[in-house]
Amino acid sequence: MVSAALVAVACSSSASQAPSSNTQPSTAASAPAASVAASASTAAQEKVRIAFVAGQIGITFYTGVECGAKQAAKDFNVDLNWNGSHNWDINEERPIIDADLATNPQGWVISPTDPDALISTITDLMSKGIPVVTIDAPMSKPAELQNIQSNHYQGGQAAAAAMVKLTGGKGKYLVLQLTPGLPDIGGRAKGFEDDMNKAGATLLPDVYPGTDQALAADAVTAAISANPDLAGVYATHESAANGAASAIKAAGKQGVIKLVAFDSAPNQIADLKKGVYDALIAQAPFNMGYNSVQLVSQVIRKEVDPTTVKHDNPTALYAITKDNVDSPDTTQWIYPADLSACPTKPVGG
């Protein structure tokens, strides 16, 4: 059984770095930089304009991010331009950023879908005094004011701990990534694989289905067919998890092949209760959306000195299993199905 305690992390700008040895579980998630009471003083001020470019609109993780961003826009009097690509693809994201550049926003929040491609753009914006915060994934070198993301490596380790508890590390295991070269998803895979290797597990070659659920399902179906001793599947993101779940159900292998995945969409929670998933590693998307918009608005208004802002602002993780899925503490970690189900405050707030 994996501890359901929040995993408080201290990650560097490279999300694939292992957590320090003195990192301990905590019961408090990353909190907003200032109290909500500060919103009262900003309500009477002129709105500030912030462009928010999300990494993958259409998945519940980014619905949670949108909930947080729009709540912060309300609390801190922000004219928020929310947009984003439908796939985690810099070729889709780049035109959206270029279009937003033409509107001259006073600040930005960006999910960098490529660790290198946006460095020059963000460096240029920052050099002009336009604050940029990135969320969910890191860049290959820090150019932004702050980066807010999970510790992906540690999330992978939590997934491995759950898997080893379930299987003892025996049999073979399949890891579903996204695309090669991503430091966030790669960190989730590396954390899992490092600890599974320590447990003596046999790992099949990683598969990269992108954000295509059908490709993820096909990969799992093929692995089941070719490996009668397939003991577990680890999906590093919501889209891959949905594909893996459908393949395991179609094969009649739920409960036999253990499925551990990142994210906690409502359908994932439902399948966890049915025994399709065995553990879910939940992130804090509302916090990422809320805290990023709050900080950018405060820097624009000169309420926060950018030289005092710490670059790395990690958010917490939470392991959900059958044992704690119905706990009141778990409810806040389930992603909203749509904008009508938005929470109104950050996890731990």
pLDDT in tens, 108-165: 999 999 999 999 999 999 999 999 999 999 999 999 999 999 999 999 999 999 999 9
Pairwise CA distance, residues 313 & 307, whole Å: 15
The model's confidence at residue 32, banded by pLDDT at 50, 70 and 90, is very low
Q: Is residue 266 part of a domain?
A: yes
Residue 156 and residue 278 in one domain = yes
The model's confidence at residue 45, banded by pLDDT at 50, 70 and 90, is confident
CA distances from 43 to 46, 51, 74, 78, 288 (A): 8, 19, 9, 9, 22
pLDDT for 36 = 45
**Is 90 exceeded by the pLDDT of residue 334?**
yes
Residue 95 and residue 199 in one domain = no
Residue 78 and residue 125 in one domain = yes
Nearest-10 Cα torsion for 97, 102, 103, 106: 70
71: domain CATH number is 3.40.50.2300
pLDDT for 43 = 56
pLDDT for 29 = 37
* Residue 191 half-sphere exposure toward CB, CA atoms < 13 A: 32
pLDDT digits (tens, 9 = 90+) for 230-255: 999 999 999 999 999 999 999 999 99
pLDDT digits (tens, 9 = 90+) for 296-312: 999 999 999 999 999 99
Q: Is 94 exposed, middle or buried (0-12, 13-18, 19+ CB in 10 A)?
A: middle
Q: Average the pLDDT over 66-79 and give the result.
A: 98
Q: Is residue 24 part of a domain?
A: no
Maximum CA extent, the chain: 65
Residue 135 and residue 49 in one domain = yes
Pairwise CA distance, residues 35 & 42, whole Å: 12
Domain of 297 in residue numbering reads as 38-149+284-315
Q: Is residue 243 part of a domain?
A: yes
pLDDT for 16 = 36
Q: Is residue 117 part of a domain?
A: yes
Better-scored residue on pLDDT, 39 or 246: 246
pLDDT for 340 = 97
Whether the CB-CB separation of 37 and 320 falls below 8 Å is answered with no
Q: Is residue 344 part of a domain?
A: no
Residue 274 and residue 257 in one domain = yes
62 contacts: CB under 8 Å, gap ≥ 6: 54, 55, 56, 84, 285
Pairwise CA distance, residues 279 & 53, whole Å: 30
Residue 93 and residue 211 in one domain = no
Residue 181 and residue 215 in one domain = yes
pLDDT for 38 = 52
Q: Is residue 128 part of a domain?
A: yes
Pairwise CA distance, residues 96 & 171, whole Å: 45
Domain count, the chain: 2
**Is 60 exceeded by the pLDDT of residue 39?**
no
Task: State the sign of the Cα–Cα–Cα–Cα dihedral 292, 296, 297, 303.
Answer: positive
Residue 140 and residue 71 in one domain = yes
Q: Average the pLDDT over 162-189 and give the result.
A: 97
228 contacts: CB under 8 Å, gap ≥ 6: none
Residue 269 and residue 304 in one domain = no
Q: Residue 67 phi/psi, 5° resolution?
A: -55, -50
Residue 42 and residue 187 in one domain = no
Q: Is residue 208 part of a domain?
A: yes
Residue 183 and residue 89 in one domain = no
pLDDT digits (tens, 9 = 90+) for 83-107: 999 999 999 999 999 999 999 999 9
Whether the CB-CB separation of 318 and 4 falls below 8 Å is answered with yes
Residue 260 and residue 309 in one domain = no
Q: Is residue 335 part of a domain?
A: no
The model's confidence at residue 348, banded by pLDDT at 50, 70 and 90, is confident
